[in-house]
Chains A and B, each alone.
Chain A
Amino acid sequence: MTYAELHCHSNFTLLEGGSHPEELVERAKELGLSGIAITDRDALYGAVRFSQAGREAGIAALIGAELTLEDDTHLVLLAEARQGYANLARLISRARLDNPRGEPHTTYDALAQHAKGLIALSGCERGAVPRALARGDFRGACEVAGRLRDAFGWGNFWIELQRHLVPEDGPRIRALSAVADALELGLVATGGVHYAVPEHREASDVLSCIRLKSMLDDAGTRLRPNGEFFLRSAHEMAQLFREHPRAVAASASIAERCAFRLGRLENEFPDFPLPPGETHFSYLYARVQEGVRRRYQPVTPEVSAQIAHELAIIEKLDLAGYFLIVWDIVRFANERNILVQGRGSAANSAVCYALGITSVDPVGLKLLFERFLSEERDEPPDIDLDCPSGDQREQIIQYVYERYGRDHAGMVAEVITYRARMAVRDVGKAIGLSLDQVDVLAKALDSSSAGGVEEELAGQTLRADIDGAVASLLPALAVDLTGDTARRLYELCARIDGFPRHLGQHSGGMVVTRSPLIEVAPLEPAAMENRTILGWDKDDCASLGLIKIDILGLGMLDCIERSFAEIERVRGVKIDVTDLRACDDPRIYDLLCAADTVGLFQVESRAQMASLPRLRPRRFYDIVVQVAIIRPGPIQGDMVHPYIRRRNGLEPVTYPHLKLVGALERTLGVPLFQEQGMRMAIEAAGFTPGQADELRRAMGHKRSRDKMARLHGRLMDGMEQNGIERSIAQRLFGMLSAFADYGFPESHAASFALIVYVSAFLKVHHAPEFYASLLNAQPMGFYSPATLIGDARRHGVTVLPPDVNASRYECTAEPVGEPPQAVPGTVSAGPATGDIALRIGLNQVRGIGEKHKTLFDAQKERGPYADIRDFVLRTALSKDILESLAAVGAFECFGLSRRQAVWDVQRLAPLPRAGALERAMAVHEPQVRLPAMEPIEEAAADYWGLGLSTRYQAVQFCRERLDKLRVYRAVDLPRLPNRLVLKVAGVVTTRQRPGTAKGFVFTTMEDETGIINVIIRPDVYRRYRHTARDVPAVIVEGLLQKEAGTLNVLARRFWKLEVADLAENLSSRNFH
């Protein structure tokens, strides 16, 4: 007997299904089923992965879904043909779009309208027919079954039998058979599967508890009664349905009927609206020629040839419409003065450069077009656009919706999957741990994989050789890490590692289609207004061949755009990025060489700062290398140090083979970029550019063993034909595969390098405006506002506190009379920035957010506030916000001390809601003398109300104590001898634990004089884990390391630095 499982939930029936789609397919194959259908509830989220797994396993993978109907019953639908799939997608979309978020349901009328090409099964015990029978309403059951039969047509609606060994099974099956007999409907047996094997039941139960927001102890009968909801073989099903053998056989025949498979969706390319008489290509050709004349002056033969080559490929692949779509988006952005720039491999294309999509010249930089597009490539090209995050990005997204219609454009989803911390939180709560306990456990984790939770919490890494640390750690965790509860937690976390939890919206991916999108894939409303999202993630879209455009919000572009506007407002100077393309200002390169890069794009991380003084960039291409070299690929491929040595003349420049000189010359014989890997294959093995790109992708992120083997042979043969010895050829292959995995595209690095240059330009020449814009564009970058303010002060920028009359909603640059003074004793007191200061905006004050912007802007227009009473009455802000403003000194313009203002606020806050008489009444009361704030209290109020202080740094209040302990300041370090064992102290601003650093942790601390870089070895980190990881301010004893202009302290011991009331408001940015 053959059997196909037609009712099967994967873990994309979110927080319910206990197995991945691939596990279900694999198990179905093991059991010898003739087919398996995925029927997740009101969704097709897992359909692409499921279909792909089905194709690979050679088993019929049917697409279906279990719909929730308007009467809260369930119905299973299977796509018989393409039209059925389109109808299924439409039904799910309408169910989600027409109903409140999270409560999709389908009407019977909609079912009747879109039933073509679909086969329906009556469903589980929550189906309309079984539910009527459970009420004892046989007539009602027949009525609803008849209605569904009429909707889908005779032969397309089946009565579904399930048996899970519960007492209700027998009566229900008998009643269902009677309904089928009465209406002459067919019976089909299904498993109502929720997991592949019985062992996955526990995960399913826990996920159900998470969904129900319940603990296992309290879930009771809301969990399934037993573990019988797994996938069964034909034999087992035959045993289970002994009295209905035809029902089991019917499953296989239904599976045979369902011929639709979700593969590549052809002909989904959208139409670009054209003027009359134009074709896509002719119109593109004209736009490219215009662009070439504008951007290339003069147009060299080299440029013409490259443009002709690219256009020929674009025409051949019929992609002109795609380029026009992207060009049109960029055109729209330029018209609105929105900074937009293509990133990624698109920067390899001269056509993209000519169209204004990208900003770096690929001909001048000799970039390889085939990295972007080639004939051999069977994927659509991928163009990512960077634009300022926030409102402007939204304008572009809404333009795409308007241009192509909401039926043809949608945002791509991002499937949020379980990782370590989220898994510990959710599973911990489900098994009964308290919120505090799961919080402590989750925060204790460094690893991202939920599979590593046990190793990290109970394994040797934490427990061995850490006597003191464990003693301090365990009481804090307040959980027995080796007990039964903890062990169950580890097992369940490991099981749900990578399980989908919910759907989010991708940061910028949009899909545009020719067919109505609603028939291509299910849509659903996003949390944001006016957004619809496609229920697949970007990988799913790519594997189906859908055209995707990424419109990514880049905080630094936002910052740059704000800076330009502020410079124009304050100084009357208009800056155009095109004016900076020469990239030849020596002061900017001086800044980079000094690693003075806090706040800059891409080069502000610890690793970048450490390498900048060694690489010493002096021209634009050096920045391109700088952006690309501190990456996992070059680091793991051991390419960083050879390059630095060669650049500094400490090692001769050599090449693996003379044929590769051309490819590797610019990077001194060390391959750094993906394009170089491709060029190596072209030069050494005679590959065509398209073949070279195929090699890159085969070696890339999703390695294909078969492809690799085939290409290895071809590569070796090619190299042999070019006269390269076998051993050298083998070495070259090894070199290629080592970095192909993570190698950075040169084009991408070039696009980013331009932004690095512009951000450095702003820091050097317009620091107050730059820092103000950085603060307004938060959150972004590596450093918190407090660190940025510290950096600004060290660069001689006068930082003024918030003031209700002087501040605007956002941070601004403000002309001041006195030229600013650099903070004495700072590490790098930079150039004085003239008579412009940075004024902290009211948006930085605790409790004030975007919703208050209009209020403050409107009141600013009305003129200054007369006194605190006037401010309270005009703004009618809440007491909490008024207290925050008072605490940070924003009312000092009225001659009120901070505490006096807080005292007044207590009385005035209710005034806006009082009657007219009370508001008009003058109150005379005795003067109250409140204790004046000490400097440390002012600092605490600043950190509490602003998250930063414009006047103080937390460590300065401990300096007397630290001096007694012979703790050095950051400013002292440059004059101290190398390899001195010393103590330093500071507030921890960042912690990094890169995956490529073999357990080393890089910490940045800040004291009142500057920044201190600390490196923590794995053994020291283990010993002082709690202090090094969680304590906001620390004292570190370590070895001073001075090398090539970099200063580091190699930590040996840690102590907690007590900073009184400040500690609770100090936070670091951790990148684990």
Chain B
Amino acid sequence: MRVACLVIPQFIVDVCLRAKPSLRGRPTAVAEGASRRTIACASAAALGVSAGMTPKQARAACPGLTIVARNELAEREATSELLDALEACSPIVTGAAPGSCHFDAAHLPAGENAALGSALAIAGALGFSEAAAAIADDKFTARCAAVTAKSGASVVPSGASAAFLSGLPAALLPLAPGDLERFDLLGLRTLGHIAALPAGPLAARFGERARAYARLARGEDDEPLLPRHAQAIHESRFAFDGSIDRLEALLFALRGCVGTVANRLAGCAQACDRVEIALERSQPPADGCLSIPVGFTEPTASAETIFQLCRIALESREALGSVDAIAVRAVPCSQPLPQLALFDGSRASRRAALAATLARLKTALQRERIVTIQSTPSRSRLPERMQRSIPIESPRDVDDCAHEPTCGQPVIDLRSNHCTGRRVELPTTPTVKPRQAWAPALRLVDPPSRIDPPAARAACAGPFRLSESWWERPVERDYYQLVDAAGAVLLVYQDKRDDCWYVQGVFD
């Protein structure tokens, strides 16, 4: 067996830089976590910044630092893209950790060096500048060769794995915590030292895991290369006898196409997280093909779900013109399909329904306006900071929020829709009582609206003085509960920093 390994050390940062090329050369760090509170990786230019820091700490260390959010979706896509591209080198390609890929290097027609050159060229072409690649008899040896090469290509000759590994540090092994220090104390500093030890006594001291250490150290990694799941695009097309311009007919054809595609997906035990509807049009003014992408919040193979979402997508288009043919293309996603629900009413079914609803809302409204409102009464006394909106990407976000003890029953709030001016609220009651007396009955004006100073004789209660965040973004306000001319009770404040007056909310 011959295995090649491609390693991209700065993969996470590189993915972000691919999305924002203007950041190249500038100190950049990637933050991850629910609130983006932890630095996951930093570019070489970000001196003093290391993984595990908070953004504030990282900025204190490197004043000009740009922090971007980790984009795991983009990483998956980049990995997928990389694996797709590497298939030009070998038919069997697999990804390990982010930024680490293996591919089968046996019987390569152009030779091993050429394959490695191609792999590095592919990585470079995809925007990963510092990559290293190596070929050896097994995955571990190939990875060690790539990691130690740091950049460029290296080949470990067939049958020479043990000799190659013997001089390398033992730290390359996937060691359990504490094992490295103990090996060091015993003078076992290289893979050769560990390979030379009898497996039995080693396992008697370090547990069964030590047998694996010894095997790896001897170049006997027997873990096979699993072929990457083949991804075919499932397509179904329906051509009309003539051009049609009625939605009902289009939907009739769409249902048939979707049913076919869904059956193919189910037959392959696959699911998809997006489909594409192609409308072929030959007559002016809209000749050519109109492609309508439809994304889902969760992978599915349900014909009904796919159809409903596609229907909404078509219905939201104002003019589709005359259509000659319709095609539906589904690209199976890499994530395996969860076990399908057998009976209606199960949790999975409910989640599927929620996913469909969310997808429908996203299709009809702006994606970023679909959020859960988390009540955070202990976070601040400022009305606008007493609640936090969390974008909903998946039905799981709603599930997770529902299980958070501080969150209470989540409120799904569709903030004011700029298109329609409507405000839609799903009626749920927060269980955590806000600290401030005014909070429960307050309808926020977001952002606060500037007003003229109230008349001196205006009926009002106050001032209530709030000053927070003096260390970063100071807020100093004198709040008043003001009765306006129409008799409504408003929450207004005078900002002590700019001396202006604002209305922040209306009491129901």
B205 in contact with A907 (CB, 8 Å)? yes
Residues on B with C-beta less than 8 A from A155 are none
| B174 interface hit (Cβ, 8 Å) | no
Which residue of A is nearest B198, CB measured?
A926
**B248-256, B319-327, B358-366, B375-383 - the one binding chain A:** B375-383
Q: List CB contacts (< 8 Å) of A196-226 with chain B.
A: 201-202, 205, 216-217, 220-223, 225-226
Min Cβ gap B103→A in Å is: 37
Q: Report the Cα distance A939→B227, complex, angstroms.
A: 52
A227 in contact with B378 (CB, 8 Å)? no
Residues on A with C-beta less than 8 A from B461 are 170
CB contact between A165 and one of B59, B188, B463 (< 8 Å): that residue:
B463
| B468 interface hit (Cβ, 8 Å) | yes
Which residue of A is nearest B187, CB measured?
A931
B182 in contact with A228 (CB, 8 Å)? no
Q: Report the Cα distance A612→B464, complex, angstroms.
A: 71
B198 in contact with A928 (CB, 8 Å)? yes
**Interface 0/1 of B61-78, CB less than 8 Å to A:** 111000000000000000
Residues on B with C-beta less than 8 A from A282 are none
Q: Report the Cα distance A377→B188, complex, angstroms.
A: 72
Q: Report the Cα distance A956→B205, complex, angstroms.
A: 35
Q: Report the Cα distance A223→B469, complex, angstroms.
A: 10
| A166 interface hit (Cβ, 8 Å) | yes
Residues on B with C-beta less than 8 A from A883 are 182, 185
Q: Report the Cα distance A903→B185, complex, angstroms.
A: 9
CB contact between A479 and one of B60, B204, B435, B471 (< 8 Å): that residue:
B60
| A486 interface hit (Cβ, 8 Å) | yes
CB contact between B57 and one of A205, A437, A902 (< 8 Å): that residue:
A437
Interface size on B, residues (CB 8 A): 47
**Interface 0/1 of A879-893, CB less than 8 Å to B:** 000010001000000
CB contact between A887 and one of B185, B193, B467 (< 8 Å): that residue:
B185
| B466 interface hit (Cβ, 8 Å) | yes
When A and B form their complex, what is the total count of cross-chain residue pairs whose Cβ atoms lie within 8 Å?
118
Which residue of A is nearest B190, CB measured?
A931
Residues on B with C-beta less than 8 A from A903 are 186, 205
| A899 interface hit (Cβ, 8 Å) | yes
CB contact between B381 and one of A201, A221, A483, A926 (< 8 Å): that residue:
A221
Residues on A with C-beta less than 8 A from B435 are 221
A221 in contact with B186 (CB, 8 Å)? no
| A466 interface hit (Cβ, 8 Å) | no
A167 in contact with B436 (CB, 8 Å)? yes
Residues on A with C-beta less than 8 A from B240 are none
A431 in contact with B471 (CB, 8 Å)? yes
Q: Report the Cα distance A170→B479, complex, angstroms.
A: 14
A221 in contact with B378 (CB, 8 Å)? yes
Min Cβ gap B453→A in Å is: 19
Q: Report the Cα distance A903→B201, complex, angstroms.
A: 10
A475 in contact with B48 (CB, 8 Å)? yes
Which residue of B is nearest A201, CB measured?
B470
Q: Report the Cα distance A228→B466, complex, angstroms.
A: 10
Interface size on A, residues (CB 8 A): 51
CB contact between A933 and one of B47, B61, B187 (< 8 Å): that residue:
B187
CB contact between A925 and one of B56, B201, B379 (< 8 Å): that residue:
B201
A437 in contact with B61 (CB, 8 Å)? yes
CB contact between A478 and one of B48, B470, B471 (< 8 Å): that residue:
B48
CB contact between B201 and one of A166, A926, A931, A937 (< 8 Å): that residue:
A926
| B472 interface hit (Cβ, 8 Å) | yes
Known: A902-B185, A930-B187. A221 touches B377 (CB 8 A): yes
Which residue of B is nearest A931, CB measured?
B187
| B197 interface hit (Cβ, 8 Å) | yes
CB contact between A433 and one of B57, B62, B193, B472 (< 8 Å): that residue:
B57
Q: List CB contacts (< 8 Å) of B432-473 with chain A.
A: 435-438, 461, 463-468, 470-472
| A778 interface hit (Cβ, 8 Å) | no
CB contact between B60 and one of A221, A437, A926, A933 (< 8 Å): that residue:
A437
Known: A478-B61, A925-B200. A902 touches B471 (CB 8 A): no
Which residue of B is nearest A168, CB measured?
B437
Min Cβ gap B267→A in Å is: 52
Which residue of A is nearest B59, CB measured?
A485
| B260 interface hit (Cβ, 8 Å) | no
Which residue of A is nearest B465, CB measured?
A165
A479 in contact with B470 (CB, 8 Å)? no
| B54 interface hit (Cβ, 8 Å) | yes
Min Cβ gap B483→A in Å is: 16
Q: Report the Cα distance A92→B461, complex, angstroms.
A: 41
Q: Report the Cα distance A926→B193, complex, angstroms.
A: 16
| A171 interface hit (Cβ, 8 Å) | yes
Q: List CB contacts (< 8 Å) of A98-138 with chain B.
A: none
**Interface 0/1 of B406-445, CB less than 8 Å to A:** 0000000000000000000000000000011110000000
The 9 A-B residue pairs with the shortest CB-CB distance in the complex, in nearest-first order: A906-B205, A478-B48, A931-B187, A478-B61, A165-B465, A434-B57, A432-B56, A226-B465, A220-B379
22 residue pairs from A and B, CB less than 8 Å apart: A202-B471, A205-B470, A217-B56, A220-B379, A221-B381, A223-B468, A431-B471, A432-B56, A433-B60, A437-B60, A480-B63, A485-B56, A486-B60, A887-B185, A907-B205, A923-B204, A925-B198, A925-B200, A926-B198, A926-B200, A931-B187, A931-B188
Interface residues of B (CB under 8 A from A): 47-49, 53-54, 56-57, 59-63, 182, 185-188, 193, 197-198, 200-201, 204-206, 376-381, 435-438, 461, 463-468, 470-472, 478-479
11 further interface pairs, Cβ-Cβ under 8 Å (given A221-B377, A225-B466, A480-B63): A167-B479, A220-B378, A226-B465, A437-B57, A437-B61, A479-B61, A902-B185, A906-B182, A926-B198, A928-B201, A932-B187
